[in-house]
Amino acid sequence: MAPKEALEAPKVGSTHMVKWKGAPHKARIVEVRGQLRNGDPAEYYVHYIGQDRRLDEWVLPDVVDKRPVSDASSAATIVIEETLPAAPVAEGQKVTRNMKRKFDEMNFHKPGEVDPKLLDLEREREEATKVRNVETIYFGKYKIGTWYFSPYPDEYKDQKTLYLCEFCLKYMRLPDSLVQHRQTCKQRRPPGTMVYHKDTIKIYEVDGKDEKLYCQNLCLLSKLFLDHKTVYYDIEPFYFYVLTETEKSKGREVDHLVGYFSKEKHSLDDYNLACILTLPPFQRRGFGRMLIEFSYEASKIEGKIGSPERPLSDLGMVGYRSYWQSVLLSLLKTSQGCSMSLKQLSGTTSIRVEDVVSTLSSMEMIRYWKGENMIW
C-alpha cells in the first residue's frame, strides 16, 4: 500500500480547525512566522471565526489541523469603521469624519455600492493591522496583554513589549528607561481641568488642542484595546475626559489612569461620545458605566439629545445596553400611572429616540401599532 501523501502546511488565508480552549474551533490563518526543520512555519497567527479580533493569537503547529475546511464567513463584507484613514483617498484629498459618517449612514447595508476608494483604504487598514504589533505593556504596577494593533512609530514596530509611564503616557522600549523616566517625571495626574470629584474618583477634561502629545499617547494606548474607533493624529477637535482613581503615596495624592472617553467639540450629529475605554485591570468595576453616565449628564447640561458614535464594540454595546435599560426602566417605574411617549423618554434622559426604541424592543416592551411605536 502506497504511503499517504503528506498534507501541506496551512497557508495564509486558509481556514482550519484549531484547538482552542480544549476544543476544535474554525480559525483563519492570518500570518505565519519562523520555520521548522521541515520547512513548515513554526507559528501561526489565527483568527477564530465568529470571535472578536482581540482573541487572535499565535499558536503552535500541533494545535492546527492541516486539513483545510470551508468557511463562507471568511469572505464577510468589509465594513468601513468609524476611524479616519491614515492615507489620502487621492492626491491632495483626505477622507473627513463627515465623509465617513455619510458612508456609514448611506452604505452600511449596501456593500456592493460603496466607494471603491474607501474599500481600498479599509483593505489597507485590515492588512496593516491584522497582527498585533505590541503584545504586552507594563503600565504602573500592571502587566497587560494587548488586544489589537496600535500604530506606534516605525522604530517601535518590532517591540513586543512596551513600558509606559502611567502619568504622562510616554512609551519606552526598555524597563531601565522607564525607571530613569520615573525619577524625572513630575506628572502625577492628567493635564487639564478637573470637572468631577467624588471620594477617590476624579474626571479631568483635557483639550486635544492644548495637550496634543498627552492625547496622542492616550489614543495610541487605547488603540491597543480598541479595534474600531480611535483618533491618534487629528486630536485637536476633541475633548478627552480622563477618569482616575486617587491613592496616597509617600504623603501625596497620585491619580491613576483608569479609563477615558473622547468627544468632538462640535458634533454635527450630536454625538456625546466618540471613543470609550476602561483599561483591562479596571474593568468590571463600574467605571465604564460611570463614563457613559457622565457623557449623558453633560448632554443634559447642554440641553441636547446624545448618542455614541458607531460602530460600538461588543463590550461597548453591552455597557450601553445595560445603561439604557437601567435608566429607562427606572424612569418608567417612577412614572407609573403617567403616560410617557418615546419622545418624552428621550427628552428626560437625553437618550436618542432610536436608542430608546431599540432598547425597549430588546426587552419586548414596545409594539408597532397603527403606524406608531407604542410602549407596551
Domain check: are 156 and 284 in the same one?
yes
pLDDT at 100: 45
Confidence of residue 348 (pLDDT cuts 50, 70, 90): very high
Among 35, 50, 74, give the residue marking a domain's end: 74
User: Taking the mean position of all CA atoms in its chain, how far away is CA 188?
Assistant: 26
For residue 58, give the C-alpha cell. 499565535
Domain residues for the domain of 102 are: 77-128
Among 128, 145, 169, give the residue marking a domain's end: 128
pLDDT at 104: 41
Whether 110 maps to a domain, the answer reads yes
Confidence of residue 368 (pLDDT cuts 50, 70, 90): low
Quote the Cα angle for 20-24-26, to 5°: 90
Higher-confidence residue: 29 or 230? 29
Q: Is 91 considered catalytic here? A: no
β-strands 136-139, 161-164: how paired? parallel
Identify the H or E element spanning 317. Answer: helix 314-334
pLDDT at 229: 64
pLDDT at 115: 66
- Euclidean distance between CA atoms 262 and 295, whole angstroms: 10
Each residue's pLDDT tens digit, 250-294: 778 899 999 999 999 999 899 999 999 999 999 999 999 999 999
- Could you tell me the pTM of the whole model? 0.81
pLDDT at 12: 96
Task: Please pick, among 91, 105, 309, 364, the residue that the annotation labels catalytic.
Answer: 309
For residue 317, give the C-alpha cell. 454595546
Instruction: Give me the CATH number covering residue 332.
Output: 1.10.10.10
Q: Which amino acid is at 321?
A: R
- Euclidean distance between CA atoms 328 and 351, whole angstroms: 9
pLDDT at residue 142 is higher than 50: yes
- Euclidean distance between CA atoms 319 and 335, whole angstroms: 25
pLDDT-above-70 percentage for the chain: 81
For residue 162, give the C-alpha cell. 512596551
Each residue's pLDDT tens digit, 221-258: 999 999 876 666 789 999 999 999 999 877 788 999 99
Ramachandran category for residue 48: left, alpha or beta (phi over 0 → left; psi -120 to 50 → alpha): beta
